[in-house]
Amino acid sequence: MSEFTLDFQDTETAFADKSNAQLKEKYRLFKMLDSPFLNAIGSTAAKFALSIGLPVEGLIKATIFEQFCGGESIEECSLTVEALGRSGIGTILDYSVEGKTTDEDFDNTKDEIIRTIKRAKDDPNIPFAVFKVTGIAPLGTLERMSSKKKLDAKSQAKCERIQNRVNEICEYAYSLGQPVFIDAEDSWIQDAIDRMATEMMERYNREKPLIYNTLQMYRTDRLKHLKELRRQAQLDGYIYAVKLVRGAYMEKERERAAEKGYPSPIHVSKAATDADYDAALEYCLKHVEDMAFVAGTHNEASTQFLAAKMYERGISPDHPHVFFSQLYGMGDNLSYILAKNKYNVSKYVPYGPVADAVPYLIRRAEENSSAAGQVSRELELIARELKRRKLA
């Protein structure tokens, strides 16, 4: 075992950016999220209130939106980008509009993603752009594309429109030399996303890693898939680039598998997911000279594990193929302490109209409400810092 450790309990560094008032507000909000009951009521009430047009946007904006999002537009995120940048943390502008259904909406979202890439190019504090394929494509078509059944003419035309949008984004990123992540989503649409992402890597990752696909290590098949894809990239002469996450849709995956009677694609236990996640980190690190990867996680043990393995292998913290990433409003102890120690670290900063960001916010709230979830860890850290500042 390596002696190497980073002190992720250093709350003074983790919250250096937060004023006393901001820290107290963060504590209040996380305390509310810590109650599964309040959380469930809050999520349902927010959905309901918005659906019937009640004026709750202001309330959402001042509370949960403020904690987890950068603003409603790229411009509104500027202060956040600068503040994170001052601490050595990059921003990934994440246009978090979900649930759209028309071609016009998909084209608008595609144009907005292109604007984030353009904005990134002008700013050294924005190392990556990101998009979700479901933001620019109808779910039904992605599901048909993933099912491997022959597409009828109408679906074929829709499929081509999706491929064109994905290509337009990646081609633009390539033209500016700006890296971009493609997020991972539900397993029943993921094959279509994976195929498009691989095609984009084949096309645009010849000289440097620009297009990153995402692998959810809660899936039992992903470790094997990672190894196959890297080997294939080697054979085909392009650089494999991947963001590793555990996966955000576990309940939905299990429920659908049970309902439709197929084996769940998700590991049976958290320990099995954790083991595959760390094995994937280790595999990527072993091949770091011919591939690039991002550890997208709030898990302290995995973060510590990767940093220690880098140390053992003599890989410098700022190696251009190794990145750490967290979500805005979460895992600040990891982000700020990694940055202080000169690792490449960035945060997703979601933005968009408040009402459109609600599904994202509800996912964060639900994720944070589980007993062993992030929130108890966050609360403990905030409480420690409040105490250190003699505020509690």
Ligand X SMILES: Cc1cc2nc3c(=O)[nH]c(=O)nc-3n(C[C@H](O)[C@H](O)[C@H](O)COP(=O)(O)OP(=O)(O)OC[C@H]3O[C@@H](n4cnc5c(N)ncnc54)[C@H](O)[C@@H]3O)c2cc1C
Minimum Å gap between C-beta 305 and ligand X is 12
- Phi, psi (deg, nearest 5) at residue 45: -65, -40
- Does 222 help bind ligand X (rule: CB under 6 A)? no
Find the part of the chain contacting ligand X (CB under 6 A) among 33-41, 44-52, 264-272, 305-313: 264-272
Q: Does 252 sit near ligand X (CB under 6 A)? A: no
Residue 80 touching ligand X (CB under 6 A): no
CA distances from 201 to 171, 206, 211, 221, 367 (A): 11, 8, 6, 21, 31
Binding of ligand X by 334 (CB under 6 A): no
| 245 near ligand X (CB under 6 A) | yes
Select 52 or 271, whichever has its Cβ closest to ligand X: 271
Please say whether the beta carbons of 348 and 327 come within 8 A.
Answer: yes
Which backbone phi and psi does 219 adopt, to 5 degrees? Answer: -85, 135
Is residue 131 close enough to count as binding ligand X by CB under 6 A?
Answer: no
Based on the shown chain and the rule CB under 6 A, indicate whether residue 216 belongs to the binding site for ligand X.
yes
Count CA within 13 A, CB hemisphere, residue 58.
2
Q: Which residue has 């659906």 as its token pair?
A: 51
Nearer to ligand X by Cβ, of 103 and 367: the residue is 367
Return the number of the residue (39 or 216) whose C-beta is nearest ligand X: 216
Secondary structure letter of residue 59 according to DSSP: H
Of 97-105, 166-174, 231-239, 263-271, the window that binds ligand X (rule: CB under 6 A) is 263-271
Nearer CB in complex with ligand X: 50/362: 362
Q: Which CB atom, from 250 or from 361, has the smaller least distance to ligand X?
A: 250
Question: Given the rule CB under 6 A, which of 187-195, 245-253, 310-318, 380-388 is the region that contacts ligand X?
Answer: 245-253
Nearer to ligand X, 13 or 134 (CB): 134
Note whether 246 binds ligand X by CB under 6 A: yes
User: Are the C-beta atoms of residues 217 and 247 closer than 8 Å to each other?
Assistant: yes
Q: Which of 27, 218, 305, 360 binds ligand X (CB under 6 A)?
A: 218
Q: How far is the CB of 214 from ligand X (least distance, A)?
A: 4
- Residue 287 phi/psi, 5-degree rounding, is -105, 25
Residue 201 CB, nearest distance to ligand X (Å)? 16
Q: How many residues bind ligand X (CB under 6 A)?
A: 26
End-to-end Cα, the chain, rounded Å = 38
Q: Closest by alpha carbon to 113, among 124, 97, 125?
A: 97
Under rule CB under 6 A, residue 250 binds ligand X: yes
For ligand X, which residue of 96, 326, 333, 369 counts as binding (CB under 6 A)?
Answer: 326
For the stretch 324-327, contacts whose Cβ atoms lie closer than 8 Å and that sit 24 or more positions apart, written own/partner, are 324/294, 324/295, 324/297, 325/92, 325/243, 325/294, 325/295, 325/296, 325/297, 326/296, 326/297, 326/298, 327/68, 327/298, 327/364
Rounded CA-CA distance 197/212 in Å is: 8
Subset of residues 265 to 324 that bind ligand X, contact rule: CB under 6 A: 266-267, 269-270, 273, 296-299
β strands within the chain, DSSP E: 90-95, 128-131, 180-182, 211-216, 240-245, 291-296, 322-327, 345-351
CA 229 to each of CA 195, 233, 237, 377: distance values in angstroms, whole numbers, following the listed order: 11, 6, 12, 35
Q: Which residues in the 148-187 window bind ligand X by CB under 6 A?
A: 183-184
Give me the least distance between CB of 1 and ligand X, in Å please: 21
In the complex, the residues that contact ligand X under the rule CB under 6 A are: 183-184, 214, 216, 218, 245-250, 266-267, 269-270, 273, 296-299, 325-327, 348, 367, 374
